[in-house]
Amino acid sequence: MNLFLYVLTQVCITLVSVCGIYILTGLTGMFSLGSAAFMAIGAYVSGLLVLNTGMNMYLAFLLAIAFAVCVGYVIGFPVVRLRRDYISLVTLGFGESIAQLILLLSQYTGGAFGLIGIPRRVNVWIALIIAILVIILTALFKCSKYGRQCIAIKSDELAAKAMGINTSRVKMIAFLLSCAMTALAGCLSAFNIGYVGPTDFGWKKSADWVIMVFFGGVNSLTGSIFGGAFLTFLPQYMQALNKYRAVVYAVLVLFILNFKPKGVFGEWELTPKNMRRALMRFNRKQRKVKER
Amino acid sequence: MKKILAILMVLCMMTTVFAGGAAESGSSDSILIGILQDTTGATATLGLSVQKGVEDAIADINAAGGINGAEVKYIEYDTAGDVNTAIAAYIRAVTVDQVDFLFGPPIANIVSGLKATTASYDIPMITFAVDPTCYTDNNGNLYDYLFCAQPSTVVQGQIMAEFAMKNGFKNFGVFYTQDNSYSVSLLDPFVETVRANGGTLEDKNIIGYNSTETDINTLIQPIINAGVDAIYCPNYTAPLVLIKKACDSLGFKGAIITGLDGAPAFNTQVGADCSNVYYINNIDVYEEATAKAIEERCQNVGAPNKYFLGYDSMMMAAKVMGEVGTDGATVAQALETAEYTGLTGTIQMDPETHMPVLGTPMFMYKYDGTTPVMLEQYPAAN
Amino acid sequence: MSFQILINGISTGTVYALIAIGFALVFNILKFSNFSYGATMTASAFIAYFLVASKGWGLVPTLICSALAGALISLIGEFVGFRRILKNHSPSTYFFVSSITLGSLYEGLVTLKAGTNFYVYPNFFETPTIQLFQTVISKENIIMLVISVAALLALAFVIQKTSIGRAIRAVSFDRDTAQLMGINATLIIQAVFIISGIFGGLAGCFLGIKYTLTATMGSLVVKGFIASVIGGLGSLTGAVIGAMLLGIMEAIFLSTMGSGWATIASFAVMLVFLLIRPQGIAGSNVQEKA
């Protein structure tokens, strides 16, 4: 049970950041290889605030997120103006720079040793509640005016511009929202484990999140959440496979990309309407079987 | 419909598998050891060596009739060099598989991440992370169930510094990996000891670099140009090979002093004359029993000294469990003052630090060509 | 700034250039950044190590073996990772995700075979360096430079003068139209992957000689990526120039401000460069969809 709760906490934290990536990549079509750096910012800022000033944890979260958003605004300035290929490059370089900065400021951040001794106050229920709130927020964003504008930009930026959408503003909003969410994930992670390591936030981590989003379905929030949960849980089932874990994981994702390119869920969302429809279809099938 | 089924299926999967696996544990006539190591990921060489050592020790213990007649079994866990994975594996070991004793990885970052979790369960764990802060919380209190079976970096750094001073080196440079906690923790003890003993070590000759950096030549050149007698390089083996190559190609004639990672197979990997390389080791490779063990057992072991540490600490754990039984709290208490004489010499635990007491033997070596030569034992043998 | 640092920079730049070329080739034709390229380098270098170098056969057979292995791996990668995505007309982001996954697959396979130990190629030269005035130049760098330049010239010849090169240029310009003109686009894409794989194999082998062979050395692909962006995505000459500039710039930063700040400074320079001249040094032939 303890193990289940721990992994569930990990899933919740991952889902918070996957929601951020969904907004950025799924809705807006921007690719970031530096999202994990915002997670690092969230984790370090909130951890340092609480360790040094002893302030309330949630206040520290808010301040950390605010800080991450400010940094995101600075870095977002070039990001929303550049070609899509360059976005991944800029965010990649940004991520590496943040990692270096953490090492260089070792008298504050603990350098290579990481930030040790953060109080462990985030339990599974806090993580679960926050994850659900973030998912609801993401769903609302998707249905809002901005969400639709994001989708328009993703499918054709030029046309979206011609329709009168302020593309760089909408892209900036999506980018900042995503920064805030990954920073929140970092805060949760720091206060759940009680430790932040400087090497845990490389571009591979950002790429992992992108893969999760694609695995479940890049156009579907349900799919992205499914992908995040499934791929975080998966390694737990493969303890016995140990060495083969990385290979199995990669093969699985390649299969999905090749044979189900829209991801497991395509564009399907888990809404009450869709569930009712699915249930009706199921009933109809049952009836047919009975009639036969 | 299919999609709803997929969600339901995952929900089922999430809950079911965690219940499994508990069946094999808990029986009274066997003792279950968890070996939690980095067997994949960047530091896997070290983890695999420890793992092999512990496994061989368990095989030997079983061949000799087990611990008080109880057979010893083990389960391996992989941390993948990642704190989250390590904690999940730890919790799996103590709650699902219900192991009686654990061996943790030789990586400070992983142990730092794990240490708070160990307080929640009463299962003793021996790790090999040599940084003393891995074993205490913020207020300096020791974690009851966490132990280290390797002399701390402080001791190692001091030994290397004293040794270097004694061998006539006066002017030092330091080239360390600033994103590696092991390397960083070896830095200060060395620097302080050198300065306290009147050696020269200018701040500008202490250069930290990132393990991702490729251009070693440019980075190390200022130290070489400063004309130092010796460069202290507390780095992992792979960067050490590059540093050695860079020093050679830049025509550095002084000595290179390394930590445990300069031990063989460093010499074969460099594949050239290593006569200016000095290193520290836990084992005396020319001592008869050790030499025999290396010959027989370490054919496929990446880091023999980690193998011996794993072997010895398993033997020590077995000795303790043979004396006091397998109850976690009692074993942990007994481990605080445990003493065991094995292949790495006598390990005497210090209840104040949960690490071996000062004076656990370390050996300084240099290479003659590519052959290791043992120069001195620390502390001096009586 | 001493002359030695310039030499060091060029020597790093040469490696980056080899990486950047293979990277740019694939970008040129499929318009996506092939991140599996790094792991292709790793895998082919390991194959060459186990099949040839560990038997002591010398430099040239090792290079050939590595290049062939790279070509083969790259070809398999095209089939496994990209063929269907291309057929489905999926957006380019799919290639990106697929290439990252493919990369981690290769890396996983290499780790399975070789473990996480690192390996070192045997020393191919008796005396590894030459002393020239006050500076030291290592022989492997000179050979690397020579082979890189030769390979580049050969590549330029193939692309500019042969019919297959013309076909490659046509497909990279507009795949659909080229297909209408009777060019077998699939075949051409395969050919490009093979060439890119050859460069990957060479780069991997050189990386192994210059540094050490580890399962994770493919992460250097990021440098190739940066170099090819600075040079102008898709342009081969641009990629080489970009790689050289990147190497020299890094060497200068490293020697003046040390390891950590150098990364940050390189990033800042890159950012400014992208804002001022987003099309890269050579000017890109990639057009934004209108």
Chain C residue closest in CA terms to B300: C117
Q: How far apart are CA C26 and CA C23, in angstroms?
A: 6
- Where does the pLDDT of residue A260 fall: very low under 50, low under 70, confident under 90, or very high at 90 and above? confident
Query: What would the two tokens of residue A236 be?
Result: 């737990």
Query: Helix H segments across C118-184?
Result: 139-161, 163-173, 175-180
pLDDT value at residue C141: 80
Name all contacts of B79-82 with Cβ < 8 Å and 24+ positions apart.
B79/B36, B79/B37, B79/B38, B79/B39, B79/B41, B79/B47, B79/B105, B79/B107, B79/B110, B80/A245, B80/B38, B80/B40, B80/B41, B81/B38, B81/B40, B81/B41, B81/B42, B81/B43, B81/B44, B81/B107, B81/B110, B82/A200, B82/B41, B82/B110
Nearest to C254 among B212, B215, B241 (CB): B215
- Please tell me the pTM assigned to this model: 0.88
Task: Mention every residue, 6+ apart, whose C-beta is less than 8 A from residue A103.
Answer: A109, A111, A112, A198, B178, B179, B210, C260
C278 touches chain B (CB under 8 A): no
Count of C-beta atoms within a 10 Å radius of residue C173: 13
- Where does the pLDDT of residue B15 fall: very low under 50, low under 70, confident under 90, or very high at 90 and above? low
Cβ atoms of B105 and B82 closer than 8 Å: no
Q: How far apart are CA B234 and CA B176, in angstroms?
A: 6
User: What is B8-151+290-351's CATH superfamily?
Assistant: Response regulator (3.40.50.2300)
With tokens 């997670």, the residue in question is: A39
> Which of A89, A213, A247, A252 is best to mutate for the C interface (most C CBs within 10 A)?
A89
Q: How far apart are CA C153 and CA C118, in angstroms?
A: 33
Nearest to B95 among A2, A195, A281 (CB): A2
C116 interaction partners in chain B (CB closer than 8 Å): 40-45, 48
- Read off the pLDDT of residues B127-146 as tens digits, 9 standing for 90 and up: 988 888 888 888 888 888 99
Average pLDDT, chain B: 84
Contact A113 B112 (CB under 8 A): yes
DSSP per-residue letters across A81-104: TS-HHHHHHHHHHHHHHHHHHHHH
3-state helix, strand, coil in chain C (%, to 5): 75, 5, 20
Range in A284-288, B189-193, B311-315 with the lowest mean pLDDT = A284-288
Contact C219 B212 (CB under 8 A): yes
Q: B356 or A9: whose pLDDT is higher? A: A9
B108 interaction partners in chain A (CB closer than 8 Å): 113
State the sign of the Cα–Cα–Cα–Cα dihedral A246, A247, A248, A249.
positive
Distances (CA, A) of B70 to B93, B322, B331: 20, 10, 16
Exposed/middle/buried for A243, CB within 10 Å: 0-12, 13-18, 19+?
Answer: middle
Mean pLDDT of B12-30: 57
A7 interaction partners in chain B (CB closer than 8 Å): 14, 18, 88
C131 interaction partners in chain B (CB closer than 8 Å): 251
pLDDT value at residue B382: 42
Q: How far apart are CA C97 and CA C100, in angstroms?
A: 5
Q: What subunits make at least 3 CB pairs under 8 angstroms with C?
A: A, B
> Residues in chain C with pLDDT < 50?
286-290
A86 interaction partners in chain C (CB closer than 8 Å): 229, 274, 278
The Cα of B209 is separated from the nearest Cα of chain A by a number of Å equal to 10
Query: What would the two tokens of residue B120 be?
Result: 């929640």
B248 touches chain C (CB under 8 A): yes
Q: How far apart are CA B183 and CA A205, in angstroms?
A: 24
Which CATH number is correct for B153-281+362-378, 3.20.20.70, 3.30.565.10, 3.50.50.60, 3.40.50.2300? 3.40.50.2300
- Read off the pLDDT of residues B116-132 as tens digits, 9 standing for 90 and up: 888 888 899 999 888 88
ipTM of the complex: 0.84
pLDDT value at residue B191: 92
State the sign of the Cα–Cα–Cα–Cα dihedral A194, A196, A202, A203.
positive
User: Which stretch of DSSP H or E encloses residue B29?
Assistant: none
Nearest to B4 among A194, A243, A278 (CB): A278
Cβ atoms of C59 and C143 closer than 8 Å: yes
B212 touches chain C (CB under 8 A): yes
Domain ranges of chain B: 8-151+290-351, 153-281+362-378
Query: What would the two tokens of residue C104 be?
Result: 């981690």
B88 touches chain C (CB under 8 A): no
Q: How far apart are CA B207 and CA B366, in angstroms?
A: 23
% of chain A beyond a pLDDT of 90: 41
pLDDT value at residue B23: 44
Contact B221 C122 (CB under 8 A): no
Nearest to B178 among C129, C136, C260 (CB): C260
Q: What subunits make at least 3 CB pairs under 8 angstroms with B?
A: A, C
pLDDT value at residue B26: 47
pLDDT value at residue A145: 92
Mean pLDDT of A45-55: 92
Mean pLDDT of B146-153: 85
C165: left (phi over 0), alpha (psi -120 to 50) or beta: alpha
Pairing of strands C129-132, B371-378: unpaired
pLDDT value at residue A240: 66
Q: What count of residues does chain C have?
A: 290
Cβ atoms of A11 and A180 closer than 8 Å: no
Query: Helix H segments across chain B?
Result: 2-16, 44-63, 83-91, 108-118, 153-166, 181-185, 187-196, 216-225, 237-249, 266-270, 288-297, 304-324, 328-335
Nearest to C85 among A25, A156, A257 (CB): A257
Closest CA to C206 of C52, C66, C51: C66
Q: How far apart are CA C280 and CA C275, in angstroms?
A: 10
pLDDT value at residue B211: 83
pLDDT value at residue A129: 95
pLDDT value at residue A205: 87
Cα angle value B314/B320/B322 (rounded, 5°): 100
Cβ atoms of C130 and B250 closer than 8 Å: no
A112 touches chain C (CB under 8 A): no
Distances (CA, A) of A262 to A220, A257, B295, B323, C89: 9, 8, 56, 61, 12
**Type of residue at A62:** L
User: Which stretch of DSSP H or E encloses residue B366?
Assistant: strand B362-368
Residues 217-246 of C with CB under 8 A from B: 219-220, 223
Closest CA to C197 of C16, C14, C29, C22: C22
pLDDT value at residue A15: 95
Nearest to A6 among B7, B88, B181 (CB): B88
Q: C31 or B100: whose pLDDT is higher? A: B100
C111 touches chain A (CB under 8 A): yes
- Where does the pLDDT of residue B17 fall: very low under 50, low under 70, confident under 90, or very high at 90 and above? low
- Residue B174 has φ and ψ, to the nearest 5°, of -130, 135
Count of C-beta atoms within a 10 Å radius of residue C83: 15
- Read off the pLDDT of residues B170-208 as tens digits, 9 standing for 90 and up: 899 999 998 888 888 889 899 999 999 888 888 888 998
Angle of the C36-51 helix axis to the C221-231 helix axis, nearest 10: 130
Angle of the C236-257 helix axis to the B216-225 helix axis, nearest 10: 30
Contact C116 B41 (CB under 8 A): yes
C206: left (phi over 0), alpha (psi -120 to 50) or beta: alpha
How far the first Cα of chain A sits from its last, in Å, is 45
Q: Do domains B8-151+290-351 and B153-281+362-378 have the same CATH topology?
A: yes
Q: B41 or A193: whose pLDDT is higher? A: A193
Query: What would the two tokens of residue A152 be?
Result: 């328009």
Mean pLDDT of A232-244: 75
Whether B18 has a pLDDT exceeding 70, the answer reads no
Closest CA to C138 of A159, A117, B215: B215
pLDDT value at residue B168: 84
A2 touches chain B (CB under 8 A): yes
With tokens 């080739």, the residue in question is: C25
Mean pLDDT of B66-89: 87
For chain C, the farthest-separated pair of C-alpha atoms sits apart, in whole angstroms, at 60
Closest CA to C280 of C225, C236, C222, C238: C238
pLDDT value at residue C288: 44
The Cα of B273 is separated from the nearest Cα of chain A by a number of Å equal to 32
